[in-house]
Structure 1
Amino acid sequence: MRQAVVRVAGHFGELLQGRIGRNGPVALVSLSCPALRVSASLLPQKELTLHGAGQRLLTPQRARALLTHLGLAQPGRILLRAEMPVGGGAGASTAALVAVARLAGWQGPPQVLAQACLAVEGASDPLMFADAETLLWASRHGEILAHLPTLPAFEVIGGFYGPVQRTNPADTDFPDIADLLLHWCNAAKAGDLAALADLAAVSARRTLERRGTGTDPTMSLAADLGALGYVIAHTGAARGLIFAPGGVPARARQVLRQAGLRGIVQFRAGGQG
């Protein structure tokens, strides 16, 4: 059964991202972000057309390829709108694909939808899963590598810094994070938010040291505002600070804006406590 309007939540970068071993797959732990969504609405029309308010979320060719892969009929005129910038590292492109599939009536397994998205865009975020934060996800293979413990509740405030950058599926130049995974699982099982936030910051710092410009303010912002840690889009512009629930300082928005972050967003994540 088709819905008239579909909304799909994006994510806000990755709590962890890197190679699993020096030559292993690129894998990530996504940070779900209900505050940033892609919406898709359907208007009657014989042929598929896409309208995206100039955001270039998805081409008609990719939409058709996705629907063909899933065995779905092309539904008509689709209006897409994203609450996050394309290339910001907030999952806009994958969220658009998931929204189109659901608008066309997809109700099948999320893993099948993930493979269809991967076939279309070459690298995919796990936004079709309800529990993305508990998945170690191979983004270039569209596969779940491991199921991880549920995270304790936490709060994030952040924005977008620097130029946007779309994900290149062929890009595998990420640091090895295999050493972080056992610590991550142990901290999550213990509900140790401080340890998890620190591990997220370690992963972010490795990527920034390897791929960044050297002018990123995220680390100094975390220290200034007393954050437990920080999270980034390892490909993209999203930057966030991690706090205990209710722990975001009142001055945080102003400080982030003064540092050059735009599109400030604040949300809660995690599932325990």
Structure 2
Amino acid sequence: MDTSGLTGLDQRIAGCRACPRLVAWREEVARTKRAAFADWTYWGRPVPGFGPADARLLIVGLAPAAHGGNRTGRMFTGDRSGDVLYRALYDVGLASRPTAVSADDGLRLHGVRITSPVHCAPPANKPTPRERDTCRPWLVRELRLLRPTLRSVLVLGAFGWQAALPAFAAAGWTVPRPRPVFGHGARYTLAAEDGGDRSGGEDLGLFGCFHVSQRNTFTGRLTPEMLREVLTTAARTAGLPAGNRTTGPSGAG
């Protein structure tokens, strides 16, 4: 097993069994399945991050969906939330294709990595505070590994925002006090601490976006235009040439 870098981290995450409730739930879902996916062999394990090791933009969600990432083994892949997110990433030139259906579908991200503060699918999409805190060291390690190239983070939803702030602090950025307040379009700068192990890390642009949940997208609380706008802003802050595919750059990195 590769124990160095993001590859090693992803392997370790996929083998984690630290939270009994989440282990039982994800494995039960993988056994019983949903009728529409009866012929699938579910992943049924923690879902690691997805995207290149030199990403300049990190997207932070909440947790894998029971019949999405928990089924396919890849973040936001195989569910309607992922349909919305990857369509927007493709539209602004940050993904090679507009859909994500399986881990081997050939999808590539350009300068972007996607992760979550909780790596197992939780019952009712609601991790407990203890489960969130138990999973945090994985996010801290991921941030530290990405730090040499990472320039901005887009957090989807208030849960991810609150879970990620302590991870940013542990990974070498200063979180202002009072703490940054979540909101769609929220924007802050986290200063890189002058520590001996920063590995070239720089200040980090922090952006908020409503989560791409069905509740938000079906009601119009989050529209495709809103999502594309905040994605483009976060990507350009990171130095990625994002833009509408019909009028701007079609890819980066």
**TM-score, L = length of structure 2:** 0.30
| Higher strand content, 1 or 2 | 1
**TM-score, L = length of structure 1:** 0.29
Greater RCO (CA < 8 Å, at least 6 residues apart): 1
Larger radius of gyration: 1
| Higher helix content, 1 or 2 | 2
